[in-house]
């Protein structure tokens, strides 16, 4: 909800909370509208110091007299999911790669934080929106548990040893002395 007086520009940025600097992207984005960058940086850092390090969206309204107001939004759902699950980044190939798991309680915690910025009527609708973000990041929604999916190289070696023992038992059943039969129809090159 924009302020009451008429604004000449609306600038949307995503900045790490409490860590805004006049350097790009903040400086150039605000400089082109004549906003006093130092004043914005100071006010933004004071307003977001409790969210230090978390990416925070901000909507900045610039007025004709070069004054400004800004509204700090809740962090993006993807940032909150990564933080809750303990991931550095989402899946490279969503839909096929799974990088973590999240449970209903964690989803409700994120939805509670995002509720003001979501267009959901109740908690269930908000949770479903966050579930969609999780799916697009390669995070499975589970009933219990949650967290990053561990990569266990020990499982591969256990599977290999099971396959080797299965091959050994199949050879023992065969007797191992008879050659394998050629497939019916022969080679295409012989025709």
pLDDT in tens, 91-141: 888 778 888 888 888 899 988 988 888 888 888 888 898 888 888 888 888
The fold adopted by the segment(s) 77-148 is Arc Repressor Mutant, subunit A (1.10.10)
Residues 128 and 110 sit within 8 Å (Cβ to Cβ):
no
pLDDT at residue 166 above 80? no
pLDDT at residue 160 above 60? no
Query: Which residues 6+ apart lie within 8 Å of 39 measured at CB?
Result: none
In the chain, where does the domain assigned CATH 1.10.10.250 lie? 77-148
Q: Please, what CATH class does the domain formed by 9-72 belong to?
A: alpha beta
User: What's the predicted TM-score (pTM) here?
Assistant: 0.63
pLDDT at residue 170 above 50? no
CA pseudo-torsion sign 134, 51, 25, 73 = positive
CA distance 141 to 113: 18
pLDDT at residue 3 above 80? no
In the chain, where does the domain assigned CATH 3.30.1550.10 lie? 9-72
C-alpha distances in Å from residue 27, one per residue of 34, 52, 65, 90, 179: 10, 19, 19, 29, 76
pLDDT at residue 73 above 50? yes
- pLDDT of 52 reads 81
Q: 143: cis peptide before it, omega within 30°?
A: no
Q: State pLDDT tens for residues 12-65.
A: 988 888 888 888 888 888 888 888 888 888 888 888 888 887 889 999 898 888
- pLDDT of 181 reads 53
CA distance 75 to 116: 11
- Residue bearing the bigger pLDDT, 148 or 53: 53
- pLDDT of 101 reads 87
């Amino acid at each position: 909800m924009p302020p009451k007086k008429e604004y000449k520009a609306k600038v949307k940025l995503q900045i790490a909370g409490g860590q805004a600097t006049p350097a790009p992207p903040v400086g150039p984005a605000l400089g082109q509208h004549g906003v006093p960058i130092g004043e914005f940086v100071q006010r933004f850092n004071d307003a977001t110091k409790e969210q230090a390090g978390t990416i925070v969206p901000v909507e900045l309204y610039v007025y004709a007299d070069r004054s400004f107001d800004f509204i700090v939004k809740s962090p993006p759902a993807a940032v909150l999911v990564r933080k809750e699950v303990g991931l550095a980044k989402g899946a490279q190939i969503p839909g096929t790669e799974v990088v973590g798991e999240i449970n209903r309680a964690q989803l409700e915690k994120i939805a509670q934080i995002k509720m003001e910025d979501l267009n959901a009527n109740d908690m269930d609708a908000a949770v479903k929106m966050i579930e969609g973000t999780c799916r697009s990041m390669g995070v499975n929604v589970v009933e219990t548990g949650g967290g990053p999916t561990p990569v266990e190289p020990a499982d591969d070696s256990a599977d290999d040893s099971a396959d080797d023992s299965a091959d050994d038992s199949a050879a023992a059943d065969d007797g191992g002395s008879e050659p394998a039969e050629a497939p019916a129809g022969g080679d295409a090159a012989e025709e």
